Amino acid sequence: MDKLLIRGPKPLSGSVEVAGAKNATLPIMAATLLTPEPCVIRHVPLVQDVKTMMKLLQILGKQAELKGDTLYLSDGKSLNVEAPYEIVKQMRASYYVLGPLLAREHRARVSLPGGCAIGPRPIDLHLKGMRALGAEIAIEHGYIAARARQLAGSEMLLEGSHGPSVGASANVMMAATLAQGRTVIHGASCEPEVVNLAEFLVALGARITGAGTPTITVDGVGQLHGTDFQPIPDRIEAGTLALAAAITRSRVELTGCRPEHMSALLEKMRGTGCSVEASGSTLKLDGRHAVKPVDVTTAPYPGFPTDCQAQFTALLCLAAGRSVVTEHVFESRYLHALELARMGARIDVDANQAVIDGVPKLSGAPVMASDIRASASLVLAGLAAEGETEISRIYHLDRGYARLEEKLRRLGADVTRIR
């Protein structure tokens, strides 16, 4: 298993380009199951989860080929309808094949994802949505077994006790594209990745309005065709790199991003004293000032993204005072706090709240990654800490970041991958 060795602290400088969004690319890849025609997806992030989704689509009978960062997807001889446990246990987003398979093949068997390091992650809203479209669903032998003669449009509320669901909104929207009649999803997620999926589906010939608002309307069509598409830039990778600039008190430029997707994060970064300048698709960060404490509460888009909470917490560990972080999306997403404490951070976690008393410096230590974003927070802490930080289990990091260490090295960080 690979490890990352970081020697810090070292200031960063220079410019890097942001990759395509993992969380937009994954549902878009699954959506190609809806059409028999070839699709081309450009500027895909070369992360492990994209490779896992390629493998899953191949198991389901699609042909998937990656040339550089362009992905070519087309139908094979016939489609299979079973997403096996071996794949789903590696990546929960495998459940994105449920909606497309039900819509096109009228049946699907998708393994239940099981436990997750960031807390309970039920899929009741996905199932509620599919049932509302007329699917019969049974849970058998660890699998979701779903079938429907022909999905039929319907009106539904897809919000749960933690607010809207990105995954359920996307899954139901995909299924509804080939359903008979009109589907109205209330309580839909407004995340840019859901909007981007809607744009992809419209490019395939789907009829969708309202994406980006809490009410999405889908008018079913008879069939969908192929397209050539480039997903949006990754706002979470961009946020992680922006926070790398802030935590190392550096000046860094990020190109190829969509700052308008990052408003909540950038506003909080400004609150810490980091200067942020957005111009078109470029972001200029200047973190050379002292870090001020701020309070942060995660929320569905356009709120502060839960996927940047761990990385922001790393920055607040070095603030001059007390900050309070409240997690409202995944309430126990704090495994990184214990590892940051090993590096000298003072964090007290109680239920969904972390109280962070800033310290003047962190010290390098051996630490362990537990999920994609927790890993990224340890990388950031390692960049700022004195001495050596060795991060193990970085396969978590590799699921969501394409060779993050190479980007950081280009900015001047001392980061090495140990095989």
Nearer to ligand EPU, 165 or 250 (CB): 165
Q: Is the peptide bond before 27 cis (omega within 30 degrees of 0)?
A: no
Q: Angle CA(29)–CA(34)–CA(38) in degrees, nearest 5?
A: 70
CA gap 53, 55 in Å, rounded: 5
- Which backbone phi and psi does 170 adopt, to 5 degrees? -65, -45
116, 257, 274, 317: the catalytic one is: 116
CB of 56 to ligand EPU, least distance (A): 13
Helix (H, G, I), strand (E, B) or coil at 73: strand
CB of 172 to ligand EPU, least distance (A): 10
Nearer to ligand EPU, 364 or 400 (CB): 400
Q: What is the CA radius of gyration of the chain?
A: 21
The token duo for 177 is 């594209």
Nearer to ligand EPU, 264 or 319 (CB): 264
Nearer to ligand EPU, 35 or 189 (CB): 189
CB of 130 to ligand EPU, least distance (A): 11
Nearer to ligand EPU, 249 or 407 (CB): 407
Alpha-carbon torsion angle 50, 168, 166, 326, nearest 10: -120
The pairing of beta strand 143-147 with beta strand 107-111: antiparallel
CB of 158 to ligand EPU, least distance (A): 8
Q: Which residues are CB-contacts of 230 (< 8 A; sequence separation ≥ 6)?
A: 20, 41, 42, 43
CB 185 within 8 A of CB 216: yes
Helix (H, G, I), strand (E, B) or coil at 283: strand
CB of 306 to ligand EPU, least distance (A): 5
Q: State yes or no: is 308 an active-site residue.
A: no
Residues that bind ligand EPU (CB under 6 A): 23, 26, 93, 120-126, 160, 162, 165-168, 189, 193, 306-307, 329-330, 372-373, 400
The HSE-up count of residue 124 (CA atoms within 13 Å, CB side) is 9
Q: Which residues have a catalytic role annotated?
A: 116
